Structure 1
Amino acid sequence: MTEWITSTMNSLGYVGIALLMFLENLFPPIPSELIMPLAGFTVSQGKMELIPAIAAGVIGTILGAFPWYYLGIIVDEIKLEKLADQYGKWIFVSGGDINKANKWFNKYGNVAVLLGRLVPGIRTLISLPAGINAMKMSSFVIYSTIGTLLWVSLLTGAGYVLGNNYVLVEEYIAPFSKIGLLSIGFLFVIWVIRKQLKK
């Protein structure tokens, strides 16, 4: 996997980054935790520029989010879960994963798309409930772009700082992901309390 990502990026440059991030959103087994840190490492070697590398990653991710979004609009949740349980094993997606992403969306509303882009395992599938719940396209693009920009910048910056050890980024990202999930849970509790107090 690493060799394929490296050769694609080396041969296609910024287009390669966008293509890889597009595919990463269509097929969750392709990890952004390898793609963007490698881009950051390449920047540290002077072979790429930082801003265009991040921009390519963001563009590829947003383009890759649209197929899932439209799938959510066209097919209802129950059918999607059944399809995922039947065929999802090829892309490591189950009906439970879709259900989990939909619960996220129902809990946090539109902001779930922004926050979901920062959490591995959720970030790809969060586009589905956005489509299922008929989230406005403009809101979907705005929230997705903000969340993606934060995620891609974090990974690219980590790859730049770690240099040759960019493959360790996934290891370093794991604790931050847990902190992110706890923070989101904490914010949700505050939101519920405030809502109850208003009532």
Structure 2
Amino acid sequence: MERLGGPGAGLLIAAENLFPPLPSEIILPLAGFTASQGSFTLAGAIGWTTAGSVVGALLLYTLGAVFGRARFHAVWSRLPLVNMEDLHRTEAWFERHGRKAIFFGRMIPIFRSLISIPAGVERMPLPVFTGLTLAGSLIWNTVFVVAGYQLGENWHVVEEYAGVFQKIVLVVVAVAVSWWVVNRVRTLRQGRAPTPGP
């Protein structure tokens, strides 16, 4: 970021969208801190990182669109413990709530990147997807960049609090997936149980 300025911050955030192990919760406050040192302006940090978020999301959207609905259905049909009814319910949910999912998903760790793929698979109108991604990313990025800018040398404190939020999200996801798997296995076992005689 010191060498490339704002475009460097944008490039890092675009990479973070494609490779989630690169945490935006570290990159964004660091961009704010770097801006506070005069390498670029606060507005530039927010603008470039938001542009990077949109570019990364569009690449994942394109990946989902190229992969396509038909291929996704074919892959889904081979997965264990799931059936096509699950997929149809998920698609119906995304059709009803997809816009909210894109907007708020940009502010949730892990889902920030992944939410772009189903949008591409379902071919959400590109202007709508781009606008929602831009709005959600702008809010998320501004909060973290400004925090890093204000904290200066202590910018890393932001990551500590963000790390707690990320762990909460991981726990909630793990509990939800475990609950779903247990219920699905139970349902499958009941379906295979022999029908009692008269």
Q: TM-score, structure 2 length as denominator?
A: 0.69
Partner of 1:126: 115
| 1:62 positional shift | 0.6
1:45 aligns with 2:34: no
Please list every run of 5 or more consecutive structure 2 residues that lacks an aligned counterpart in the other structure: 78-86, 173-198
Please list every run of 5 or more consecutive structure 1 residues that lacks an aligned counterpart in the other structure: 1-8, 83-98, 183-199
Partner of 1:89: none
- Which residue of 66, 69, 74 maps to 2:61? 69
SS in 1 for 2:60: helix
Partner of 1:34: 26
| CA–CA distance in structure 1, aligned partners of residues 76 and 52 of structure 2 | 26
Q: TM-score, structure 1 length as denominator?
A: 0.69
Look up the equivalent residue of 2:143 and give its one-letter code: L
Partner of 1:147: 136
| 1:113 positional shift | 0.5
- Which residue of 4, 12, 16 maps to 2:4? 12
| CA–CA distance in structure 2, aligned partners of residues 107 and 35 of structure 1 | 33
Computed over aligned residues only, the root mean square deviation of the Cα atoms, in angstroms, reads: 2.6
CA deviations on 1:127-180 (whole Å, 9 max, x unpaired) are 00111111000100000000000011011011112211212212222556669x
CA deviations on 1:57-95 (whole Å, 9 max, x unpaired) are 01111111112101111224356779xxxxxxxxxxxxx
| CA–CA distance in structure 2, aligned partners of residues 79 and 170 of structure 1 | 40
SS in 2 for 1:51: helix
Q: Say whether the 8 Å CA contact 2:2–2:34 is kept in structure 1.
A: no
Bigger Rg over Cα: 2
| CA–CA distance in structure 2, aligned partners of residues 79 and 21 of structure 1 | 32
Q: Percent of aligned pairs with the same residue?
A: 42
Q: Say whether the 8 Å CA contact 2:42–2:149 is kept in structure 1.
A: no
Q: Say whether the 8 Å CA contact 1:105–1:113 is kept in structure 2.
A: no
How many residue pairs get aligned? The number is 154
